[in-house]
C-alpha cells in the first residue's frame, strides 16, 4: 500500500480504506491527511448546508476540488480523477 490510508474502527475490528480520502460514518468523520482534511471540511459543509455552498467555499479558498466528490472524497472519473 502506498500513501496514507484511513483506519476505521468498527467495533472490535479495524478496516483500512486506502482509496478513501475521508470517511463519514454519520457520527465521526476522519480524514487521511492535510488536503483530505479540506475535502472532509467541504463534505461537512455539503452535508450540513448544501453542495452549492461547499462549491462556493472551495472557490473562495481557491481549492480545486473538481476531481473528487463532495459526498465521498473519491475521484469522480472526470478530468484529473
The tens-digit pLDDT sequence of the chain (81 residues) is 455 566 666 667 777 888 888 888 888 888 888 888 899 999 999 999 999 999 999 999 998 866 666 666 666 654 443
pTM, 2 dp: 0.66
Q: Is residue 44 part of a domain?
A: yes
Range of the structural domain that residue 28 is part of: 6-60
Q: Is residue 25 part of a domain?
A: yes
* Residue 53 cell numbers, joined: 455552498
List, in order, residues 6 or more apart from 41 with CB less than 8 Å away.
Answer: none
Specify whether the CB–CB gap between 16 and 1 falls below 8 A: yes
Q: Which of 36, 28, 45, 26 is nearest to 5 (CA)?
A: 36
Report the number of distinct structural domains present in the chain: 1
Q: Is residue 54 part of a domain?
A: yes
Q: Is residue 23 part of a domain?
A: yes
Amino acid at each position: 500500500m502506498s500513501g496514507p490510508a484511513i483506519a476505521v474502527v468498527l467495533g472490535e475490528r479495524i478496516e483500512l480504506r486506502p482509496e478513501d480520502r475521508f470517511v463519514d460514518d454519520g457520527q465521526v468523520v476522519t480524514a487521511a491527511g492535510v488536503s483530505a482534511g479540506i475535502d472532509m471540511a467541504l463534505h461537512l459543509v455539503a452535508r450540513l448546508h448544501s453542495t452549492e455552498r461547499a462549491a462556493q467555499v472551495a472557490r473562495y479558498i481557491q481549492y480545486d476540488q473538481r476531481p473528487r466528490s463532495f459526498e465521498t472524497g473519491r475521484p469522480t472519473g472526470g478530468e484529473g480523477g
